[in-house]
């Protein structure tokens, strides 16, 4: 039974890793063609600047609210064609701060309004939908509170949305605090791979891409035609993206434009973000896989869309692999495990690791001139990427069984908001750290050296999150 389950896990990991390998190949091929998104400098300025509404959804984010409002108000665009909405669902001092900031910019001639809700119906999706009712723009730009849009964002992007069938344009995220800690470096690597590999590969092959919830520009008509912002998933951005493309709209990714953003600086904050993204992706998969396969799109688009919407299955596979790997080798060492042929076939798992490694490596090469100096971090990046597999597995289960959970925004500014982690999750992560260490010790004791490196990755992963859990544990009450 252990051998069968482990084989299934390896097949899943190999499958998604092989897809990353395919994506990496597509990115490399695109470098030698004209299929990648062109820079804004290749486009002529329009004869008429369309009306644009910038929406800034905010909830209790006093540490960054002023910054994003100032940045959006400083965007260069004809003032008579620009409207800014601060969609403030806050319940703390952020309300007065954002209201005062809005008044200051109003006095400077900016068309900006402070829209405060008290019930948070629909959370972020509800705030965006509520703001859309009074929006005047035919194009809608969105920025989360932790972003700092560049001044030329609209001037660079507007010339690229002249196609009436183009529903949304997404730009790449960059990171203002990537070097703040090992935790932020791990996040930066993961996001770099998403934008530089996954988005590019899907774009150049004509597959569906997704709006990332911020740093994008929507055509209002596309939002409304696709059913608007809906509240039945935690990833309203992914949900709308797929509904729009199933409806026939085109979405575009611009790789060589970027919007700087702040990464979460605590594990608790990162866990909240990852849990929301993972659960929301599972909810979107449950909701839209059938419509995707019924849509008049290519088989490749359907397959890649399915892989995209089910990629969260990697997390329970990683948890099972961590549990089963030492058990399987214990059986083998004691003479009642599968034979050598089985273990030879299980080498298929290396495809998954290879695909992940090459995609990460290529993303660094695409984005950073001194990328080769960063390669030594990969083992730590790999371990850190796997460390949240337990909490993300719970999110997957909650998403597929339709468990209702509130939209919990990612806390900003280390030390201002405390992100609480379930004690059960902490206990399970600590258990797997100890369990993986015991498995590692056993493999070394028995001299099963071919399996030591794989087991070491599991130990590093759960040691990493356990250490951060200890560091971020709230102090005992005095």
Q: What is the set of active-site residues?
A: 89, 237
Both tokens assigned to 202: 């899907």
Sign of CA dihedral 256, 262, 268, 273: negative
319-346 core/surface letters (b: 16 or more CB in 10 A; e: else): bbbbbbbbbbbbebeeeebbeeeebeeb
87 DSSP β-pair partners:
57, 115
Query: In terms of DSSP bridges, do strands 139-142 and 216-219 run parallel, antiparallel, or are they unpaired?
Result: antiparallel
First to last CA, the chain: 50
Both tokens assigned to 358: 């090459």
Q: How far apart are CA 34 and CA 277, in angstroms?
A: 32
279 touches 417 (CB < 8 A): no
Mapping DSSP to helix (H, G, I), strand (E, B) and coil, where does residue 54 land? strand
Q: Which of 270, 277, 214 is nearest to 412 (CA)?
A: 270
170 DSSP β-pair partners:
216, 253
User: In which order are the strands placed within the sheet that holds 112-116?
Assistant: 112-116, 82-88, 52-58, 139-142, 216-219, 166-175, 250-261
365 vs 19, 27, 198, 245, 255, CA distance in Å? 19, 12, 15, 30, 14
442: which residues sit within 8 A by CB, 6+ positions away? 326, 329, 330
Q: How far apart are CA 69 and CA 101, in angstroms?
A: 7
């Amino acid at each position: 039974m252990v051998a069968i389950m482990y084989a299934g896990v390896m097949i899943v990991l190999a499958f998604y890793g092989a897809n990353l390998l395919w994506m990496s190949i597509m990115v490399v091929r695109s470098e030698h063609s004209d299929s990648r998104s062109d820079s804004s400098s290749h486009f002529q300025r329009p004869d008429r600047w369309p009306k644009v509404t910038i929406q800034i959804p905010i909830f209790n984010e006093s540490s960054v609210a002023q910054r994003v409002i100032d940045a959006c108000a400083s965007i260069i665009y004809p003032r008579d064609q620009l409207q800014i909405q601060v969609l403030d669902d806050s319940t703390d001092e952020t309300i007065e701060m954002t209201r005062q900031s809005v008044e200051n910019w109003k006095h400077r001639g900016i068309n900006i309004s402070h829209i405060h809700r008290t019930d948070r119906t629909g959370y972020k999706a509800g705030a965006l939908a509520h703001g859309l009712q009074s929006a005047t723009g035919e194009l809608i730009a969105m920025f989360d509170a932790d972003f700092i849009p560049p001044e030329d964002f609209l001037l660079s992007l507007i010339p690229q949305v002249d196609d009436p069938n183009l529903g949304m344009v997404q730009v790449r995220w960059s990171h203002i605090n990537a070097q703040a800690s090992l935790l932020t470096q791990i996040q930066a690597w993961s996001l770099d791979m998403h934008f530089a590999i996954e988005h590019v590969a899907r774009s150049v092959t004509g597959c569906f891409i997704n709006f990332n919830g911020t740093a994008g520009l929507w055509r209002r008509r596309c939002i409304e035609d696709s059913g608007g912002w809906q509240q039945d998933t935690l990833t309203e951005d992914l949900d709308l993206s797929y509904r729009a493309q199933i409806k026939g709209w085109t979405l575009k990714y611009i790789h060589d434009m970027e919007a700087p953003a702040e990464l979460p600086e605590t594990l608790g904050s990162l866990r909240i973000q990852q849990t929301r993204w993972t659960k929301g992706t599972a909810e979107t998969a449950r909701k839209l896989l059938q419509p995707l396969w019924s849509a008049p799109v290519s088989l490749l688009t359907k397959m890649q869309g399915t892989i995209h919407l089910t990629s969260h299955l990697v997390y329970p596979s990683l948890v099972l692999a961590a549990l089963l790997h030492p058990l399987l080798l214990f059986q083998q060492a004691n003479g009642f495990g599968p034979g050598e042929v089985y273990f030879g076939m299980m080498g298929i798992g290396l495809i998954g690791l290879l695909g992940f490694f090459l995609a990460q490596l290529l993303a660094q090469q695409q984005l950073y001139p001194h990328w080769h100096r960063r390669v030594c971090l990969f083992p730590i990046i790999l371990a850190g990427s796997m460390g949240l597999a337990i909490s993300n597995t719970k999110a997957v289960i909650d998403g597929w069984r339709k468990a209702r959970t509130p939209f919990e925004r990612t806390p900003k500014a280390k030390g201002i908001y405390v992100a609480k982690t379930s004690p059960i999750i902490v206990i399970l992560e600590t258990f797997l750290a100890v369990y993986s260490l015991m498995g590692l010790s056993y493999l070394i004791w028995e001299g099963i050296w071919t399996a030591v490196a794989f087991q070491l990755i599991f130990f590093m992963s759960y040691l990493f999150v356990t250490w951060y859990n200890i560091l971020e544990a709230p102090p005992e009450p005095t």
